[in-house]
Amino acid sequence: MLNRFTKVFCVDAFVKASSFLLLPLFLKLMSQEEYAIYCYILSIISVVALVFNFGLYAAQSKIYSDSKESNKAGAIFTINIVLIFILAISMFILYSSGADYFLIKKLLSKEIDYEKYRLLIPIGVIISIYTIMLFNFFMVTEQIKKAQIHNILRVLMGTILTVAALYVIPGDKSFIRMEALFFSECLLLIIFLIFYVKAMKIWFDKSIALNASKIGFPIMISAVFGILINFSDKFFLARYAAWDDQSVYYLSISYAGIITAVYGSFQSIWLPMFLREKDDIKNFLKTKKVIAKSIIFLGILGLLIWILVFSLLYFSIIDNKYNNVLIILPIMIISNILISLTGILSNYTIYWNATHIAALFSFILACISIPMNLFSAKYYGVFGVSLASVILNLIFLLLYFKFIKNRMSFL
């Protein structure tokens, strides 16, 4: 597992490090308001993509791992037919009825012209969905080298095109950067989807489609509640905080995101191995070891991240108008460590075919997060919602821990 993780992480580290090291350049090319708007809309796209994936990325991992060798190609085909069918219907209804104005425009600040982004948002959502499915496919089929090449090309093409576009094209830098990014992502996706399609066999299995829906639907419901959990902080900050404060908050999210980026690399390797182990006791013991080592590793990584950002500000590589990030960043690092640990525990909902538990826990947390983030943003601003994120993610972690502990006691 360590060998496989190292192979994936070395490339992911290059990809993520490139994006984080280039942040000072983008901060110079964009105003604080443009940077905040760009991050705000990308956060909308990411949470909507998780909902419109319908949890089928998890179904793909589970069903592929459990299927006989002769049925694997048909299983991938069946899952993608289900995804395309539901996605096409959902997108058609959403945009033909104009319901997107109600669902998305309400999430945007009144200062943003939604019409400008109306076409760009669904394009970004579709690209995000199939990027998730493709990467998940490469991991579950152990085609690590293809995943590495894809990730390297993503950062190289994305960086070159976005920086060139920001330098050359005048106008709204948030919109220009998004257009350039989606163009490069779409081009690479088309090329690498060839490998995905070749691995499919034209064979639709109703039982697999039904099973995929059973696994995916609760995860989709969980993602819907996840919008309330993960987006309510940004929504209320857009109402009560200035763009300058929001840009500091988004910068802290970006650097603290190194924690979850590292976890994502590990999760892509750990999940297929976790699902293949059929002995509950062995899996539980392995998971305990993974969590103990993860706490130490992520804690050290968090300290290094803070030192990096302090150095960038000290040597004026990042403008001193972002100095407050040093106060917010430690809080967001703790929050991201909790998110990563929760992600490791949440694998059990897929392992035990209990994805409805994820939906239930997300519902509970959504009910708590909305009033908490409203109060925090209104009275304590960026600092308040940062502390709220730690409390919310700690509750989430404890819910999963209690669920696993209770389930293991009956085995």
What's the pLDDT tens digit per position in 295-321? 998 899 899 999 989 998 888 888 888
Give the integer Cα–Cα distance in Å for 411 and 279. 11
CB atoms within 10 A of CB 139: 22
Q: Which amino acid, residue 19?
A: S
pLDDT tens series, the chain, 411 aa: 556 656 556 556 556 656 666 777 888 888 878 887 888 788 788 878 888 888 888 888 888 877 787 788 888 899 989 889 988 998 888 888 877 777 766 666 556 677 777 788 889 999 999 988 888 888 788 787 787 788 888 888 888 899 899 888 888 888 899 999 999 999 999 999 988 888 888 888 888 888 888 888 887 887 777 777 777 787 788 778 777 788 888 888 888 888 887 787 777 777 777 777 777 788 888 888 888 988 998 899 899 999 989 998 888 888 888 888 899 999 999 999 999 999 888 888 877 878 788 778 888 888 898 899 889 888 888 889 999 999 999 999 999 999 888 887 655
pLDDT value of residue 328: 92
What's the pLDDT tens digit per position in 121-157? 889 999 999 988 888 888 788 787 787 788 888 888 8
Residues 6+ apart with CB under 8 A from 193: 130, 134
Q: Measure CA of the first residue to CA of the last residue in the chain; give whole Å.
A: 26
Q: Which amino acid, residue 36?
A: A
pLDDT value of residue 5: 58
| Cα four-point dihedral sign 24, 30, 36, 38 | negative
pTM above 0.75, yes or no: no
pLDDT value of residue 143: 81
Secondary structure of the chain as H, E, C letters: CHHHHHHHHHHHHHHHHHHHHCHHHHHHHCCHHHHHHHHHHHHHHHHHHHHHCCCHHHHHHHHHHHCCHHHHHHHHHHHHHHHHHHHHHHHHHHHHCCHHHHHCHHHCCCCCCHHHHCCHHHHHHHHHHHHHHHHHHHHHCCCHHHHHHHHHHHHHHHHHHHHHHHHHCCCCHHHHHHHHHHHHHHHHHHHHHHHHHHCCCCCCCHHHHHHHHHHHHHHHHHHHHHHHHHHHHHHHHHHHCCHHHHHHHHHHHHHHHHHHHHHHHHHHHHHHHHHHCCCHHHHHHHHHHHHHHHHHHHHHHHHHHHHHHHHHHHCCCCCHHHCCHHHHHHHHHHHHHHHHHHHHHHHHHHHCCCHHHHHHHHHHHHHHHHHHHHHHHHHHHHHHHHHHHHHHHHHHHHHHHHHHHHHHHCC
Q: Which amino acid, residue 302?
A: G
Record the tokens describing residue 93, joined without a space.
């209804």
* Residue closest to 179 by CA, chosen among 189, 190, 165: 165
Give the integer Cα–Cα distance in Å for 36 and 277. 43
What are the structural domain ranges in the chain?
A: 2-409
